[in-house]
Structure 1
Amino acid sequence: MAYQNTTLRNKTKVLTLDELHLSKEIREKINQLIEEFTYLDTLKNLNLPVDNKILLHGKTGCGKTATVHAIGKALNKEVITLNLGGFVSSRLGETGKNISELFRKASYSNAILFIDEFDFIGKIRDYDNKDSGEMKRLVNTLIQQIDNLADTSLLICATNHIEIIDTALLRRFQLKLEYKLPSNQQLDLYYDDILTHFPKEINAVNRVYSISYAEAKDLAYQQLKANVIQLEKAKTD
């Protein structure tokens, strides 16, 4: 099956929630999520349900995946990552069975199941009507697995295209957090955070706006590397 286990030991760099540049609204809701899982037993004793089905949606490169791993780090939970786009089999019946096995694994280990490209189901449904019956069964399988998810487990799904996801699936998520492109002020803080780790003689970069954090990081590093190389060349002139 095409999925991976991401633990704190083998993840190259897992940022903390404090290190992420999240909007105030998203950070407050995630803080509430962390606290609910921290006091899970107390809430269960009072028959209060914990929000454990989360959908992250919005612009690519704005921190959805990093958020999932930061939550895993905060809760000390294993993250089981499933990229739905690379997982759906040409034999859709097998896909439903494999997804059910992943949900069982996540529940058994009290892990975070992270499903990326969650909109892929909607994309496949649009591609070929001849598989519509199998797609309906796959959607029903997902709905059943989501409904039966253990309280101690956490399901987080991510999509860039929430508009094409089946509404019956959308209703299952207690939290839907939208990731938007950062404002100029937010990007300035992000650029400052990147550049503070480098010497002043190389950290002059052209700041570009109306882009994602991922794009800003790539642009900043490209310019930083160019500045370093320029300085090295100057030494040999």
Structure 2
Amino acid sequence: MNIVDLLIFEREKVDWKDVVMSEENRKSIDQLLKEFYYLDELKKYNLPVNNKVLLYGHSGCGKTMTAKAIASSLNRALLILDLSSFVSSRIGETAKNIKMVFEKAEREKAVLFLDEFDHIGKMRGNDDQDVGEMRRMVNALIQMIDQCSDRTLLIAATNHPDILDVALLRRFQVKIGYNMPDHSALDLYYDQLLKDFPEDLKHFDRKYDISYAEAKDFALTKMKESLIKTLENNL
């Protein structure tokens, strides 16, 4: 199988109004985007652009949506590689294949999104199985990241930053954390999701202590239940 077959080419345009994040995170992203907008001016002063970003934290809290919105803002292609399936299926050739992905992103000036980054970024020597191969893989990945020019924006995402190799962590100039939303944050999110629905469909017991993604699935399911019930009652 060609390495390209393992990539997801994301063409969906995501607007920042659809991305829920803290004010601190939004400021970090704004700074990142401005550095790319003023790339040529920064180069005149030999100022490096931060083009390596680590998104970490709870699943379903906005990491993938952030990557999509960044690519949309920069008007660049987004190449997504899910390392959880990639590493397990091609453990013997992983380093070589990832290098091909990096080279493709470089040629296309793309945003490269490495999802489930901890599947390859585990601390060297902490795996009982294939210790030597994992160590070589992490070393090779460190070299690839070091060689990643500002033609490419590299974004890695993980739910488990604590198991990442320290040397790998140091390569990322920008690190952005995502936490589970509290009740007030979820209420604001529910209100935004439901604002265009009829008032009589919006009344249900809201669920809390869940991620934004889980809240969206829950709320839209409730909307469908209410709508179908109304339609059936009107038959």
Counterparts in 2 of 1:46-57, with a 5 A limit?
A: 46-57=45-56
Name 1:134's counterpart in structure 2.
133
Give me the whole-angstrom Cα distance separating, in 2, the residues matched to 1:171 and 1:92. Answer: 25
Tell me: CA distance 1:126–1:224, structure 2 relative to 1, closer, same or farther (3 Å): farther
* SS of match in other structure, 2:56: strand
Query: Is the 2:204–2:222 contact (alpha carbons within 8 Å) kept by the matching residues of 1?
Result: yes
Q: Once structures 1 and 2 are overlaid, which stretch shifts more, 225-234 or 170-179?
A: 225-234
* SS of match in other structure, 1:201: helix
Give me the whole-angstrom Cα distance separating, in 2, the residues matched to 1:90 and 1:221. Answer: 35
Name 1:214's counterpart in structure 2.
213
Query: Is the 1:56–1:159 contact (alpha carbons within 8 Å) kept by the matching residues of 2?
Result: yes
Name 1:74's counterpart in structure 2.
73
Name 1:225's counterpart in structure 2.
224
Name 1:3's counterpart in structure 2.
7
Paired AA for residue 82 in structure 1: L
Tell me: CA distance 1:115–1:109, structure 2 relative to 1, closer, same or farther (3 Å): same
Paired AA for residue 146 in structure 2: D
* SS of match in other structure, 1:119: helix
Give me the whole-angstrom Cα distance separating, in 2, the residues matched to 1:22 and 1:89. Answer: 32
Paired AA for residue 217 in structure 1: K
In the TM superposition, structure 1's runs of 4+ consecutive aligned residues that sit over 4 Å from their partners are 122-128
Give me the whole-angstrom Cα distance separating, in 1, the residues matched to 2:102 and 2:210. Answer: 35
Query: Is the 2:125–2:135 contact (alpha carbons within 8 Å) kept by the matching residues of 1?
Result: no
Paired AA for residue 234 in structure 1: N
Deviation (angstroms), 1:128: 5.4
* SS of match in other structure, 2:210: coil
Give me the whole-angstrom Cα distance separating, in 2, the residues matched to 1:213 and 1:141. Answer: 35
Paired AA for residue 181 in structure 1: M
Name 1:116's counterpart in structure 2.
115
Gapped runs of 5+ residues in structure 2? none
Query: Is the 1:92–1:138 contact (alpha carbons within 8 Å) kept by the matching residues of 2?
Result: no
Paired AA for residue 227 in structure 1: S
Deviation (angstroms), 1:15: 2.5
* SS of match in other structure, 1:176: strand
Q: CA RMSD in A?
A: 1.8
Query: Is the 2:124–2:138 contact (alpha carbons within 8 Å) kept by the matching residues of 1?
Result: no
Deviation (angstroms), 1:121: 2.2
Deviation (angstroms), 1:19: 2.4
Deviation (angstroms), 1:205: 2.3
Tell me: CA distance 1:25–1:216, structure 2 relative to 1, closer, same or farther (3 Å): same
